[in-house]
Amino acid sequence: MQILIHSADAEQWQTAIAKALPKAKVITSDAALEERQDADYLVAWQPPGWLFEEQQALKGIINLGAGVDALLNNPALPAGIPIVKLRDAGMADPMIDYVRYAVLHFQRDFDHYARQQARRQWLERPLASKAEWGIGVLGLGAIGARVAQALAADGFPVHGWSRHPKALDGVRCYHGKEGLATLLGQVKSLVTLLPNTPATRGIINAETLAALPQGASLINPGRGSLIDEAALLDALGPANAETGGGKDDGNGDTGRLRGAVLDAFAREPLPAESPLWRHPHVLITPHMAAPTPRGAALEQVIDTLRAWQAGEQVPSIDPSAGY
Ligand code: GLV
């Protein structure tokens, strides 16, 4: 069995996989062409097109992340090869922490207090009740489901939404277009954890943002493609919110949307000229919410490679659905 690895930390993966599968030949995409040709399996994160063009014997691809969008959008990806993605694989825990931090940012008024601090203003705001702080989680895959259940366990009413009907303990689940409209009307924080597919592109747009209650907040640690950034900026109101806008209460709440915590963008890195960088109600992180940890992910990678080697079927993604 010959395994080819492409990732920023390919050498660490190479060492770990070679140790777990001592009979396999494990090489990285940095190896000489004659070394790396005719691999049976590719283990990769965002592989370049040339890698597919030179590999003619691939029998399976393991995606070293949860989202397969970069892979499926690669025009050189050959059709018909099973693709297995990581499912949770240690990513859900850091994602839960990220989302929890972002929810508390708004529910505990840290955004307001940061602006008050800039004005040296000592003013305690009334504590918003968790029980009245509805949270919507769009996307109930391996990671979204864990996030929804963790927030529900924290005491927030959590509403989950997925393409197909799902049931999750402690989470009120919705699906379909109507389900989405019902969910949006009830949430103070909306968390987007959907995959990037043709069906989810721009799902957060002028219409869906307008369906949120006044003062709601958006948290996107998923994919930039989910958000119509122009509509988001519009919903956030003027960038000089401290001084502009009619509804300003001194804390800069001028838009229908109170604020956004964003980790994923249509273009990454987020271009310097993006107005999102400067918006006082936007907190930006550089796609760091849930990096793939090698430990738990390695187990899934090895299990998949062993199963393939034994001729077993492994649940793979549906390229037409995009996840
Ligand atoms: C990260 O964005 C992933 O898809 O795992």
Q: Is the pLDDT of residue 79 over 90?
A: yes
Catalytic-labelled residue, pool 159, 223, 279, 281 = 223
Say yes or no: 182 and 237 in one domain. yes
Nearest to 200 by CA among 255, 144, 119: 144
Say yes or no: 265 and 147 in one domain. yes
For residue 239, the model assigns a pLDDT of 77
Say yes or no: 179 and 158 in one domain. yes
Say yes or no: 46 and 167 in one domain. no
User: pLDDT band at residue 253, thresholds of 50, 70 and 90?
Assistant: low
Domain that holds residue 21: 2-89+292-309
Domain membership flag for residue 323? no
Say yes or no: 138 and 234 in one domain. yes
Q: Is the pLDDT of residue 257 over 90?
A: yes
Identify whether 6 is a catalytic site residue: no
For residue 240, the model assigns a pLDDT of 64
Say yes or no: 244 and 296 in one domain. no
Q: Best substitution site from 9, 91, 265, 323 to test ligand 1's pocket, by max atoms within 8 Å of Cβ? A: 91
Say yes or no: 265 and 180 in one domain. yes
Say yes or no: 206 and 73 in one domain. no
Domain membership flag for residue 298? yes
Say yes or no: 39 and 119 in one domain. no
Summarised one tens digit per residue, pLDDT across range 35-52 is: 999 999 999 999 999 999
Average pLDDT, the chain: 95
Which residues have CB under 8 Å from 20's CB, separation 6+?
298, 302
For residue 255, the model assigns a pLDDT of 78
Nearest to 127 by CA among 110, 102, 144, 147: 110
Query: Domain total for the chain?
Result: 2
Percent of the chain with pLDDT over 90: 93
Tell me how far apart the alpha carbons of residues 312 and 125 are, in angstroms, rounded to a whole number.
59
Say yes or no: 17 and 102 in one domain. no
Tell me how far apart the alpha carbons of residues 259 and 214 are, in angstroms, rounded to a whole number.
11
More confident residue, 247 or 133: 133
- At residue 277's C-alpha, the angle toward residues 67 and 258, to 5°, is 85
Domain membership flag for residue 43? yes
Contact between 292 and 65 under an 8 Å Cβ cutoff? The reply is yes
Tell me how far apart the alpha carbons of residues 148 and 262 are, in angstroms, rounded to a whole number.
18
Summarised one tens digit per residue, pLDDT across range 185-221 is: 999 999 999 999 999 999 999 999 999 999 999 999 9
Q: Is the CB of 222 under 6 A from ligand 1?
A: no
The protein residue with its alpha carbon nearest to ligand 1, atom 4, reads: 67
**Does the global pTM surpass 0.75?**
yes
CATH value at residue 13: 3.40.50.720
The protein residue with its alpha carbon nearest to ligand 1, atom 5, reads: 65
Question: Stretch 227-246: mean pLDDT, rounded?
Answer: 77
User: Can you tell me which atom of ligand 1 is nearest the CA of 67?
Assistant: 4
User: pLDDT band at residue 247, thresholds of 50, 70 and 90?
Assistant: very low
Nearest to 123 by CA among 111, 133, 112, 131: 112
Q: Is the pLDDT of residue 248 over 50?
A: no
